[in-house]
Each structure stands twice: as structure tokens, then as C-alpha cells.
Amino acid sequence: MSNSGYLLPDPNVANRVSVWFTGGSLEVNDEEKDLEEWKKIFGKAPNRDMSEFARLLAAKVLLGATVSDQMEENGTLSYTLKRPIGGHGSAFCDVLYMDEKLRVMRGHSGSLFAFSKVKQHEDCGC
């Protein structure tokens, strides 16, 4: 699973960044090995009951959510949010340590994250 979003400095806490979520995807880990089984499990059109339909409608109206009903060829199911969720006071990470190569952060629910700077790929620049 991948989540998309952005960080902004928290205006009230010096070492805190607020997290805003803008979308995400659920994808197969090893396409060569697992794609067929993945498609058997997740490839069918969702069978939504009334409460699931109501939640999806609320997400579309309130968050501008776009939810994929069909799986992409590589097995990915994705969604986007035109109006991000999270932000100041509700989703944040405190920076515990940071230098030019390493950043260690603790999330608002206690999760610990360690990020390491890696060399850029020459072919894509990422």
C-alpha cells in the first residue's frame, strides 16, 4: 500500500510537520510471482452494500474522492482526494533527529519513521 500526501511545518510546534493525505494505492508486491493470485482476490468489481455506498458517496462529496472501480493491468487499485485530509493538530510527525542524510520522526499515533537520503536514479531523476 502506498499513500500520497505532503508535509507542512506546524505553525505552533517548532519540530513538527503536519501531514496532509491526497491519495493512495493498493498494489501487488511481486508482479511476476503474485499478479494472477492478486487478480483473483482483488480483481472482481466491489460488491458494495448500502452503508459502503453511503461512505463512498460521502468521500466523493466531502473530500472530492475519486475511487477506482477497476484494477489497472499491473494490479493497482488507487484513489485520489481533491480536498486532502489530515493537517495541523490531526495528522503530524515530530522530527526527532535530522542531518543531511538521515531523518527520524515519530508520528501522532506513536509510529517511528526513519528516512535515508538515496542517490538519484539517472534515468528518471527521482
Rounded to an integer, the average pLDDT of 47-73 is: 86
Q: How many CB atoms lie within 10 A of CB 29?
A: 9
What Cα–Cα distance (Å) separates residue 69 from each residue in 23, 43, 48, 78, 94?
Answer: 15, 10, 11, 9, 36
Say how far apart CA 109 and CA 89 lie, in whole Å. 12
The distance from CA 36 to its chain's CA centroid, rounded to whole angstroms, is 24
pLDDT tops 80 at residue 46:
no
Whole-model pTM over 0.75: no
The more confident residue out of 52 and 101 is 101
